[in-house]
Structure 1
Amino acid sequence: MASGRFGDWTWVIRGIALAYCLGEGVFYLGWLTVMSWRTGQQLPDGDSMRWGFPVLLVGSALFQVPMTGYMWWLDLAAGRRFPRSVRLWLPVAFVAVLSVFVMVTATKVAFPAFLIGAVMAFLGIMALFFLPMALSPRLPAVLRERRRLTRHCSRSVRCQSRDVIAERGVPDRCPGETAR
C-alpha cells in the first residue's frame, strides 16, 4: 500500500469521488429541473402535471437514487453482495427513463436530444448513486479490507489470507482456482 507525505492513498480516491459526485450531481439536478420545467410548460394551463414534472421528477431523483446507492454501500461495507432484486432498481430506472423523456420533449429534437439526455441521465444518476459511498467515513477502511482480501489471490498461488476469507464465509478457493 502506497503511503506518502499525506498518509494513506485513499484521500485521493475520496477527493475524486466527492468532486465527481458533488459536481455532476448538482449539475444533473439543475439540468433536470430546467428541462422538466420546460416540459411542464408545454402542457395546457390548469394541468396539474405542469408543475408536477419539476417537483416530482427532481424530488424522485434526489431521494430515490441516493437511497438505492446507500443500500448498496451498506451491503458492500458489510461484505455482502448487493441484492439484485428488481424492486431496488425500479426507482433508478424510473428516474432514468423520465430524465431522457423530459430532455426529448423539452427540445423537440429527437435524436441528438435522446443521446444527450441518455448521457446526462447516466452521468447524473451515477453521481447520485455513489454519493453515499463518497461521503462515508468508512470508505478508506472498506477499500483497505477489500484490497487485502483480493491482493494475494491468483490462478497459480493459493490464497495467503485463508483465515480472513474463512471467517467471512467466502469459499475456500481464490477466484479462478480449480479444485484439487
Structure 2
Amino acid sequence: MEKAKTGLADWAMRVLLWLYALVSIPLYLWFLHHAGDRWGQQLPADDDLRFWLPIVVPLAAFSFTTMSSTSWWWSTEDRPFLLGRKHWRFMMVFVVALSLMAGFFGSAHQDVIAVLLTVMVTIIGLVGLWFLPPALSPRLLTTLRPTKASANPS
C-alpha cells in the first residue's frame, strides 16, 4: 500500500516540477537573451560584447545554476558532489548579479520598475533551474530529501 502512495506522490511532484520548469526556464532564458541583446546595443558598434552578451548571459545562467543545484541536490555531508553543499553559493551569487545587471542595463528605462521586473523574473527562473536536476532524477522523492551517507560505503 505504501508503495502506491510513494508512486503517486512521486508522479504528482514530477508533474508539478516539470510544469513549473516548462514555463519558468524558457521565460527566464528568453528574458536574459533579450536583456543581453538590449544591453549589447548600448555598447559601441565595434565592441565584440554586442554579439556575445545575448549568447553568454543565458548560457552562463543556465550552466552555472544547473551545476550549483546539481551539486547541492546530490551532495551529502560525507559525499560531496561537484562543488558540495557548501561551495555552490559563489556561482549563484554570480548568476544573480549577472541576471540583475542584464535586466537593469538592458531595460529601456532604468528605474524601480525595471529592477522589480528583473528581480521577479530572476527569482522565477532560478527556482525553475534549481529544481530541474531533481525533476530529472529517477528517484525524485529521495533526491528531494537527501540522506546522509553511511561511513562505510561498502
TM-score bin, normalised by smaller chain: 0.7 to 0.9
Normalising by structure 2, report the TM-score. Answer: 0.80
One-letter code aligned to 1:12: A
The equivalent of 2:71 in structure 1 is 71
Number of aligned residues: 146
Structure 2, unmatched stretches of 5+, are none
Structure (1 or 2) with the larger CA radius of gyration: 1
- Aligned 1:162-177 pairs, distance under 5 A: 168=150
Moved over 3 A (4+): 1-4, 140-143
Q: Is the 8 A contact 1:32 1:58 kept in 2?
A: yes
Distance 2:79 2:44 in 1: 51
Q: Is the 8 A contact 1:2 1:9 kept in 2?
A: no
The answer to which structure, 1 or 2, has the higher relative contact order (CA under 8 A, 6+ apart) is 2
Distance 2:95 2:143 in 1: 29
Normalising by structure 1, report the TM-score. Answer: 0.69
The equivalent of 1:122 in structure 2 is 123
Structure 1, unmatched stretches of 5+, are 150-164, 170-180
Distance 1:115 1:2 in 2: 44
The equivalent of 1:83 in structure 2 is 85
One-letter code aligned to 2:136: L
Distance 1:41 1:47 in 2: 10
Distance 2:48 2:118 in 1: 24
CA RMSD of aligned residues (A): 2.8
The equivalent of 1:162 in structure 2 is none
Distance 2:142 2:42 in 1: 50
